[in-house]
Each structure stands twice: as structure tokens, then as C-alpha cells.
Structure 1
Amino acid sequence: MSEELDTQTTLKQLTKRIEELEAVRDLTSLRAEFHRALNNREWDTLAGLFTEDAHLDYGEYGQAHGSKEVRSYYGQLLEQIRDMRNATAIALKNYIHGHQVHINGEDTATGVCFFEEQIRFNKDSLAFSSLGQFSDKYVRIGDRWFFAKVELDHYWVVPDNDGWRWPW
């Protein structure tokens, strides 16, 4: 009987560990999909990664509440940056580094990652590196994870021109 209990306990522990590992994998994929959709300007796909009551906070660049507003926010973000920088064309690619995930419960988690963005504001302008950190809250609805909150801590935008050519 004792051996049977040990086996059941071990199976429960292993099952929990596997579920956590799968959640981390799914959340890492969610974060990667965010940046893929952003780079490809797939605003509907990007909005679909957020809950209906999600909160997006980009600091000085604005906020959005809910997946519908998130869609609208990203749809006008490049135009907003273009206006802020008095630019004629925006070209950018955004990448993540060091994504860390913490599973808080069966259906909640938090994460943090650093981002690096290569950007040009005009065809003939200098290239810039934009750096910062995303802090996330995730929620699982059914069998799928979503962003419940995304907060950007934007560090800086600095010139970065060695080896750059237009277009990418």
C-alpha cells in the first residue's frame, strides 16, 4: 500500500511539473507571437493575444484597455511615432531577450522580458536602437493563455548605424 501511495504522489508531482513546463512553453510562444505580429503589422492577430479587459500601458506612448482598444492602439502607433519624430517613413523590427515566466496559479502567471527594436524614422535617416522591458500578467482562459496586462518600461532610443542599409 505504501508503494502505491508513493507512486501516486510521484505521478501527481510529475503531472504538476509537466503542466507548469507546458504553461511556460505556451507563454514563451505567446510573447514571441506578440513580437512576430508587431513586426509584421498584423494588428488583428496582435489584439487577439489580449483578453477583452486587458490593460496595455506604454507610458508616454499611451494606453489601451481591452483587446479592441489594443487593436486600435497598435493601428495608430506608427503614425503617432511618425508625428512625434517628424518622420516620413517608419521601419522597425522588434525582438525579445531573456523572457522569464513565473506561474502563480493554475490560470495566472507573470513574465518579464527585455526588448530591442531597430528603427529608422526616414529612408535617409540614421538607424536607432530602442531598448526597454516588458512586464506582463497572463491569464489562461480555457486551454489558451492571453495577456491580461502588458506594461512597457522604455529605457532609451540611441543612434546605431554601423552596417545598416535601407531597406531591411
Structure 2
Amino acid sequence: MTLEDLIAREEIRQLRCDYSTAFDTIDETAVRANFADDIVCHYPVAFGGAITGIEAVLELFRATWANCKAPLDTVHFIGNHSIELTGPDTAKGHCLLLDFVTRQEEGSPIATRGGHDNPMLLIGRYDDEYVRVDGKWKFKTIRLMTAWPMRAE
């Protein structure tokens, strides 16, 4: 593995962290910067289903953010990130997700089982494809599989 490979892998790890932070802080500009324009997201149906294109993904996120009162009402923890470089400007990888809801409102679609006493929304795994555009790594494809509370593959 070369130094350039190690740098690329670290930039991709940072991409996943940057995306999680941007989503949780309701920063649409930062979220947009992390996605290729033709992004394809495959979420479980309960979380929006299959979506193509940056504008469609942002529309879904805006609907989710409308249920948040403030930044960090949702918190994504990422771990066990594995990355494989597949070309000079392409890669694929996977990581685990712990997704929490820190402030819950009755009737909100992002409430968890057990309400405020149980902030865990889901445990899942992201399977991603990445592409480097103008020197910056971005998400090309995101696939979320939930393992808990219900398995969706």
C-alpha cells in the first residue's frame, strides 16, 4: 500500500464522518458537498427507499430535518470502517452505524421505541461506493441495511 493509498483511505473515512456531522447539525450545504450529483441512495422503505440524484436526497433529508427542533436531535456514530480502493478515483467500503434520537416529540416519525428513555433508533450497516471528483472524495452510492430493530436488506 502506498502513501497515496493511505491518504485516500483516510480522506474517505473523513468523508463518512463529515457526512454524519453535516446531517446531524442540519447543514444542507455540507451534506450536498459530500455527494456526487448523481448519488444513488438505497434506504429501507421506512427511511425513504431508493432515491437517485442530489436534489431528491436533499428533499428527503429536509423532510427529516423538519421533525428536528435543533442540531444534534439525531446523532450518527460510525465504526468499523473498511475501505477498498478500486481505481485511482474510485473505492468501495462499509461501516457500522449506531443512530440515536436525542430529543423526541410525541408523534414524530423519528421517535424511537420506548421514547426518550431509549434513544437508539437503529443499528445498521452502510455499504458505499465513492468517487473522487476534482480531487475530493464523494459518495456515489449509499446502501443502508438495518440490523435492528428490524432487519431490512
Shift of 1:78: 4.5
> 1:29–1:125: structure 2 CA closer, same or farther, 3 Å change rule?
closer
Which residue of structure 1 lines up, in the alignment, with residue 124 of structure 2?
132
Bigger radius of gyration among the two:
1
Aligned pairs (5 A) from 1:77-116: 77-79=64-66, 91-116=73-98
Aligned pairs (5 A) from 1:6-155: 17-60=2-45, 61-62=47-48, 63-79=50-66, 91-119=73-101, 120-122=103-105, 125-129=116-120, 130-155=122-147
Shift of 1:117: 1.4
- Give the TM-score, by structure 2 length: 0.79
Contact between 2:78 and 2:95, CA under 8 Å: does it hold in 1? yes
> 1:42–1:89: structure 2 CA closer, same or farther, 3 Å change rule?
closer
Shift of 1:89: 6.5
Identity %: 22
What CA deviation, in whole Å up to 9, does each residue of 1:66-94 have, x standing for no partner?
12222111111245xx6xxxxx9793211
Higher relative contact order (CA 8 A, sep 6+): 2
For residue 122 of structure 1, give the secondary structure of its aligned residue in structure 2.
coil
What CA deviation, in whole Å up to 9, does each residue of 1:125-150 have, x standing for no partner?
33231211111000111211110000
Judging by fraction of residues, say which structure has more helix: 1
Q: CA RMSD in A?
A: 2.3
Q: Which 5+ residue runs of structure 1 have no aligned equivalent? A: 1-15, 83-87, 159-168
Q: Number of residues paired by the alignment? A: 136
C-alpha distance in 2, partners of 1:65/1:47?
A: 14
Paired AA for residue 76 in structure 2: N
Q: Which 5+ residue runs of structure 2 have no aligned equivalent? A: 107-114
- Give the TM-score, by structure 1 length: 0.72
